[in-house]
Structure 1
Amino acid sequence: MFAIYGTSGLMYRGLAEDLRRVVPTLRSVRTRALEPEFDRPLPALETGTPPNAEHRGSAHVALSAYSQLQRAPVARRPLRNVADVMSRNPVTLSHDMTVRQGWWVLYQRGVGQAPVLGRNGLVIGLLSRAELMQPERLPTPDGHALVWQALMAQPLTQVMLSPVPAVSAEVELRRLALVLLDTGLQGLPVVDDEGRVEGFVTRSDILKAVVHDPPLDLWAG
């Protein structure tokens, strides 16, 4: 199930096919570099060691790799739903933050976007670093410092993307991918039936899932 939330609350709830007809026009945001975190980092090679020590180290690595192969394989299952790949305990922003405060949170937490929550704790918008960096939003390079200060002092609610689509955890990944392509967004907040944030899911989450162990089963059924 998909939904659309704005400053006035829930605006739509229904299927992806219907969402495509009611989603407002949203500016496409730019992609950011993917930094995958692999489960099995490659062992670092030591330098400057005597030949015999290097040989013993190589033998140890080979034996370790062989022992890994002898272990029972981990049970795998296809990844089908948003819940299988979403990030839990996501970064969220408050409606009463300024642009400067919201930008700083995104920077500190190393994320490209975060949902904005209203007074009741429900989603009312989405703040995206890529959206903030659109040329039409920024002062000219030779603009006065006061212009930049005024931009940073604005409330988040004036620059956030709103209304914003949201998705529930049980939605199939192929339907999520369809909505991401339609809206041009890099990610969506994951909400429960009451509209409270349970997680956040991005294109990067899907790509990381492709790289990791369990296979994606986007086209099942």
Structure 2
Amino acid sequence: MTASVHDESSTMFHVYGVGGRLYSGGAENLPVVPVQRLERLSSVQNFMVDERPPEEPAAPAPQRSALGHDAVAAYGQAASPQFAPTRLPRVAAQFMSTVVVTVQADATLEQAAAWMAREHVGQAPVIDERQQLVGMLGRAQIVAGAADPEQAVRSAMLSPVPAALPETDVHLVAKALLQTDLPGLPVVDGDGRLCGFIARGDLLRVLADEPALEVWA
């Protein structure tokens, strides 16, 4: 499957808050959500930094023997489209989790924390009584609100919160996560309904398997 190329100026993200949709557009203008930073996120961000040493000047090309010529020809045949490997996931719909653990905005922090622990998730989209995305709740917000566990989730959650669309390119999702410092990104359809979730682990698994160089024509 050949993935299409998306312009960052097109609508790849929405931002939702308690007042509904607040923004639609590309990653370059995505509003920054204030996030209580977790130490583990810092290590993930550092892991994604390109630390390859600068390239050294190329050595003179050796004289190509007849055997070398045959090897190059064989490589060219292997690199033809019929031998190319299956494309890795390129858009959110291909690597998002479609079973999404959510919490209700009117639940208490204690209830939300118990539910998230039972489902083994560290962050969850928050939805209101209309099942619309209004925020995100993570471990940092639960810890910050521990002094008042009976407070409503809506008073402790991160809001507004960005959400990707199913057709958003994987690299734009990575850019949005780094820009907002969120631990994950909800995915909504064209009508604003929650249809998936992308955790940093989902994204790292995709990017870790991506070839470092564009080998295939």
Match of 2:17 in 1: 6
Match of 1:28 in 2: 37
Query: Are residue 81 (structure 1) and residue 91 (structure 2) matched?
Result: yes
The gaps in structure 1 that reach 5 residues or longer are 35-74, 139-147
Q: Describe how 1:1-150 pairs up with structure 2 within 5 A.
A: 1-19=12-30, 22-31=31-40, 76-134=86-144, 137-138=145-146, 148=147
Among 180, 184, 204, the alignment partner of 2:181 is 184
Query: Are residue 160 (structure 1) and residue 154 (structure 2) matched?
Result: no
Query: Are residue 209 (structure 1) and residue 174 (structure 2) matched?
Result: no
Q: Percent identity?
A: 36
Cα deviation per residue 1:17-55 (whole Å; 9 max; x = unaligned)?
A: 121xx3343333443799xxxxxxxxxxxxxxxxxxxxx
Inter-partner Cα distance in structure 2 for 1:218 and 1:162: 36
Among 165, 170, 173, the alignment partner of 1:173 is 170
Offset, 1:119: 1.7
CA contact (8 A) 1:2 1:165 kept: yes
Match of 1:193 in 2: 190
Inter-partner Cα distance in structure 2 for 1:216 and 1:18: 27
RMSD of aligned Cα (Å): 2.6
Cα deviation per residue 1:113-141 (whole Å; 9 max; x = unaligned)?
A: 0011012111001010133224xx55xxx
Q: Give the TM-score taking structure 1 as reference length.
A: 0.66
Inter-partner Cα distance in structure 2 for 1:29 and 1:3: 24
Offset, 1:201: 0.1
Inter-partner Cα distance in structure 1 for 2:154 and 2:29: 27
The gaps in structure 2 that reach 5 residues or longer are 1-11, 45-84
For this pair of structures, how many residues does the alignment match? 163
Inter-partner Cα distance in structure 2 for 1:216 and 1:177: 13
Cα deviation per residue 1:182-207 (whole Å; 9 max; x = unaligned)?
A: 11111011001111110100110022
Inter-partner Cα distance in structure 2 for 1:81 and 1:112: 23
CA contact (8 A) 2:36 2:140 kept: no
CA contact (8 A) 2:33 2:159 kept: no
Letter in 2 for 1:85: F
CA contact (8 A) 2:37 2:140 kept: no
Inter-partner Cα distance in structure 2 for 1:207 and 1:24: 21
Match of 2:50 in 1: none
Offset, 1:210: 4.6
Between 177-186 and 125-134, report the one with greater CA deviation. Answer: 125-134
Inter-partner Cα distance in structure 1 for 2:150 and 2:19: 23
